[in-house]
Amino acid sequence: MDVIWIIFYTLLIAFIPFYFVFLKRNAYWADRGVLHEKPVLFYGNMRNVGRTQPLRQPFRELYAKYKDKVPFCGFYISLRPAVVLFDLELIKNVLIRDFSKFANRGNYYNEKADPLSAHLFNLDGPKWRDMRVKLTPTFTTGKMKFMFPTVVDVANRFVTVLDGIVKSETSELRSCNIEVKELLARFTTDVIGCCAFGLECNSLQDPNMEFRLMSKKVFNSRRHGRFVGALIRSFPKIARMCGAKLVHEDVSKFFMRVVRENVEYRESEGIQRNDFMNLLIELKNTKDQNALTLEEIAAQAFVFFIAGFETSSSTMGFCLYELALNPSVQNKARDEIEEMFKRHGGQLTYDGLKELKYLQNVLHETMRMYSIASIIMRQTVENYAVPNTNHVIEKDIIVIIPIDAIHYDPAIYPNPTKFDPGRFEPEEVEKRHTMSFLPFGDGPRNCIGMRFGEMQAMIGLVMLLKNFQFSPCEHTKIPIEISTKSVVLSSQHGISLEVKKLLEN
C-alpha cells in the first residue's frame, strides 16, 4: 500500500505544474482584457463540439451575440487561445490586405513520422509558398478543359448505375427511394481517382473498393480521441518530438503504396498523362534542389483526393436535398440544362457548362447554406495591431473566420434559412461585401482546387437533373440533421430522396 501511495503522490506532484500551465492558458484573454466566453479546462469553448454540437454551432452563437459589439472576441480551441473575427473589413485584412502577417494555418503535421499529413493544406511558411507555386499550374483553364471529358465520362457511368438501381427496385413508375449521399461520394471518388491518380477506382460499381473504404475511414474515424487530439494541437512541438501521427496507419500505407506503384509504372513505361499525378512526377524529376520526394508526392495526392471527393459530394447531396424541397427551382434549373444541350448538339461541353448561370446560382446558394468547411483558420506570423482598437493579436495566435455564421447573417442574407438562388444574381452580389461569401476562402491561400471542385459538382448535377427528378420521400429528414461528429459539414443519416427516371425527349 505504501508503494501505491508513493506512486500516487509522485504523479500528483508531477501533474501540478501542468495544471497551472493549463490555468494560465485559460486566463489568456482575461489577462488582456479581451471580450470572451469563459472556457472549460481542457475543452476551452468547444466542450460540446463533437458530442451534442456540430463544429459550426459555437461560432454561430458567438457571432450572433457579439458581432454588433466588437470586431473580434477571444476564444479557446481546447487549450489554444484564438480569436474569432466578426468585422468583414478586418477579415479582408487577414485574408488579403495583410496576408503576409497571417500566411500560416497553424495546423499540426509531422513530415517524418506521418508524411501524408505534410500536404499543401497543412504546410506553413516557405514550404507552403514553394509547394503552392509548384501546384498552381494543375488548375489552369487548360488543365480544367483537359480533365473535363474524364469527369463527364464518370458522370455518365453514374447515371447508368443510378438508372439500374431505379429499374431494379421499382414498378413501371420508374421511381424509388434512394440514399443519395453515398452514391455521390462514390461518384466523386471515381472522378478524383481518374484525375489525380489516373486510376479506375470503380467504386460506382463496387462500393467496397479499397479506394472508397480508405476515403470513408479518413472522415469517419479519427486516430486519436478528443483529449489526445487537443494535446497534439496545443503542444505541436512536443507532439512532433514524440512522433505523434494523425493519419491511420493502414490509410497511410495504402496511399503510399498506390502512389509508389503509380510512379514506378509511369516512369518505367514512359507514360505521360495531363493529370495531377503527372505534374507531381515532373516535380519529382526536376533537377531543382527542391525536387519533390515520393513522400511529398503522396501527401499532395492524398489531400487532393480527400478534399476533392468529400467537399463536392457533400455539396451535391445538400443541393439535391434543397432541389427536392423546392421543385420550382429544380424545374427551372432543368429547363436551363435542356436548352443548353439543344444549343450544343445534345452534348455537354466545357463552354456549355459555363452557360448554366442559374444552376451556378443554385450551387452557390447551396454553398452558402451548407458551408462544408464552416470556419477558416489562420495563424499570426507576427504581432498584429488591430485597426481602430487598442488590442494586439500576438504572434502564433489562431485566427478564426466563421464562414457559416456570416453566411447566415440576416443583415447580409435576409431570411437566411430560405433557399433562394436569386441571391447570387450579379446585381445582388454587387450589393454585398466581398467577404460575405467565402466557401473557398479568399486571398493567396484560398482553396487551390476550387475551380475543379465547382466543375465536378456542376457536371454531376447537370447529368443527374437531365435524367432524374428528385423529391422528398418518407425517409427524408426535414429539416436535415447535421452530424455532430464530422469535422466537415455532413448529414447525420445520409440524404434519402425519391428518385424518378425522366422519359427521354
pLDDT tens sequence across 361-400: 999 999 999 999 999 999 999 999 999 999 999 999 999 9
Closest residue by Cα to residue 312 from 465, 466, 458, 117: 458
Percent of the chain with pLDDT over 70: 93
Mean pLDDT of the residues in the chain? 90
Closest residue by Cα to residue 99 from 440, 399, 373: 399
Residues 6+ apart with CB under 8 A from 139: 448, 449, 451, 452
Q: Would you place residue 21 in the very low, low, confident or very high pLDDT band (cuts 50, 70, 90)?
A: low
The answer, yes or no, to whether residue 242 has pLDDT greater than 60, is yes
- What local confidence, expressed as pLDDT, does residue 12 receive? 54
- What local confidence, expressed as pLDDT, does residue 172 receive? 52
Name the amino acid, one letter, at 334.
R
Which comes out higher in pLDDT, residue 213 or 472? 472
Residues 6+ apart with CB under 8 A from 10: none
* Gap between the Cα atoms of 168 and 162, Å rounded: 10
The answer, yes or no, to whether residue 41 has pLDDT greater than 50, is yes
DSSP assignment of 192-249 equals HHHHHH-----TTT-TT-HHHHHHHHHHH--SS-HHHHHHHHH-HHHHHHTT---S-H
Tell me the H-state helices in 419-467.
Answer: 426-431, 450-467
Residue 479: CB atoms within 10 A of its CB come to 8
Fill in the DSSP letter of residue 290: T
The answer, yes or no, to whether residue 25 has pLDDT greater than 80, is no
Contact present, 110 and 239 (Cβ < 8 Å): yes
- What local confidence, expressed as pLDDT, does residue 475 receive? 92
**Phi, psi at 49, each rounded to 5°:** -70, 130
* Gap between the Cα atoms of 199 and 189, Å rounded: 11
* Gap between the Cα atoms of 231 and 379, Å rounded: 18
Which comes out higher in pLDDT, residue 100 or 246? 100
> Strand pairing partners for 53?
49
pTM for the structure as a whole: 0.92
The full set of domains in the chain, from first to last, is 32-501 (1.10.630.10)
Q: What is the pLDDT of residues 388-443, one digit of tens each?
A: 999 999 999 999 999 999 999 999 999 999 999 999 999 999 999 999 999 999 99
Where are the strands (E) in 303-423, listed by range?
Answer: 376-379, 384-385, 392-393, 398-401
* Gap between the Cα atoms of 448 and 118, Å rounded: 16
Residues 6+ apart with CB under 8 A from 457: 312, 315, 316, 319, 363
Q: Would you place residue 485 in the very low, low, confident or very high pLDDT band (cuts 50, 70, 90)?
A: confident
Q: What is the pLDDT of residues 171-194, one digit of tens each?
A: 555 668 999 999 999 999 999 888
* Gap between the Cα atoms of 58 and 47, Å rounded: 10
Q: Would you place residue 1 in the very low, low, confident or very high pLDDT band (cuts 50, 70, 90)?
A: very low
Q: Would you place residue 289 in the very low, low, confident or very high pLDDT band (cuts 50, 70, 90)?
A: confident
* Gap between the Cα atoms of 127 and 356, Å rounded: 38
Q: All 3 cell numbers of residue 193?
A: 481517382
Q: For 147-162, what is the mean pLDDT?
A: 94
Which comes out higher in pLDDT, residue 377 or 7? 377
Residues 6+ apart with CB under 8 A from 184: 313, 314, 316, 317, 320, 460
- What local confidence, expressed as pLDDT, does residue 276 receive? 85
The answer, yes or no, to whether residue 504 has pLDDT greater than 80, is no
